[in-house]
Amino acid sequence: MKYDTNLINTELKNFPNMELSITPTPIYQLHRISKRLGCNIYIMREDLTGFCIGGNKIRKLDYLIGDAIGKGADTLITTAASSFSRNAAAAGKIFGFEVHVVLTGNKSEQNSASQALFQQFDSVLHYVEQTDEHSLKKEYGRIVSELSNQGKKIYHLHPGGSDAIGSLGYINAFNQIVQYSQDKGTHFNKIIHSSGSTATQVGLLLGQSISEYDVTIIGIAASQKSKIQTQRVYKLAQSTSQMLGIQFDKSKIVVDDNFMGSGYAIPSKEAELAVKMFASTEGVLLDDIYSGKAAAGLIHYAENGMFNEGDNILFIHTGGNSGLFY
């Protein structure tokens, strides 16, 4: 079946893309893992988006930074020492923004590699020693008020870049998947990825909806049980689809929470084995928290006959820096 790749381009044309991501990212078959698992496994190397420390967050920042510039902001603010905030600090710096990051815990408790990166980009770090959500929100609000009183034009970056604008990055990425299918004559039956702050899954789902590409998109939950994560995905999909003026079918949301192990940021035995397999078989480095757990899901499906014969499976490597910041 032919798919019109211009459909997604048309939907996104009014949203500035700062093109931080080096695209298209590589898509190729993992021949050794395919042979080992007895099915056709492909990978989309979103860990190689190129800017700063890379990963799926760069796709989101492509549009978030464009939106911030379009709205005349001069200051970015976000929370948490995450792959998103580290990449946002870099993006903000090169485009002339002042960047503020609100962190829980005191300075001595922070990861030294993360702190060094923030320092490289002249980020202003604020520490909240009380780790409860109320204290964080209170301090965040105080900082915003203080910056506003100084005349700063603030742009709020949602943790993980997961808002309607951030979701556009993976609508755009889905177009790359469609283009690959057209060029190579390879139709993907299933797409598997790590589902965390939800914008990646939402973007993929809406990209599928716009293009009408026939595929099942499976989000392997990184931190939330499937009922909660499904609702989070649906809520963001609603706001993004309303912004674009398109329809979205909630029944397309698939979230699997069977591979979280003991919880978020805690490596599981299955994830460690998956990381080992990808490294030793294909030379692909995953992390234990996100991509490793998604890969564990993929391996489980293959080993338990949950893929149909002849299926082409696309695994999206969303990044993770091989555990460097955990």
According to the model, what pLDDT value does residue 98 have?
Answer: 98
Residues 145 and 174 in one domain: no
CA–CA gap between residue 107 and residue 94 (Å, rounded): 25
Residues 211 and 88 in one domain: no
Residues 48 and 80 in one domain: no
Of 97, 128, 152, the position where a domain reaches its end is: 152
- Listed as ranges, residues in the chain with pLDDT below 50 are 326
According to the model, what pLDDT value does residue 321 have?
Answer: 64
According to the model, what pLDDT value does residue 123 have?
Answer: 97
- Which residues 6+ apart lie within 8 Å of 246 measured at CB? 11, 206, 209, 210
Residues 15 and 92 in one domain: no
Q: Domain of 99? A: 74-152
Residues 146 and 183 in one domain: no
| Inside any domain, residue 65 | no
Of 152, 177, 200, the position where a domain reaches its end is: 152
According to the model, what pLDDT value does residue 326 have?
Answer: 43
| Residue 207: φ, ψ to 5° | -60, -40
| Inside any domain, residue 157 | no
List, for residues 284-297, the tens digit of each pLDDT value.
999 999 999 999 99
CATH code: domain of residue 100: 3.40.50.1100
How many domains does the chain fold into? 2
> Residue 220: beta bridge partners?
194, 256
CA–CA gap between residue 147 and residue 11 (Å, rounded): 35
Chain length of the chain: 326
According to the model, what pLDDT value does residue 109 have?
Answer: 81
Residues 208 and 110 in one domain: no
Of 128, 152, 176, the position where a domain reaches its end is: 152
Distances in Å between the alpha carbon of 52 and those of 32, 90, 163? Answer: 30, 7, 21
> Residue 216: beta bridge partners?
190
| Inside any domain, residue 163 | no
CA angle at residue 70 from 163 to 196, to 5 degrees?
15
Residues 220 and 318 in one domain: yes
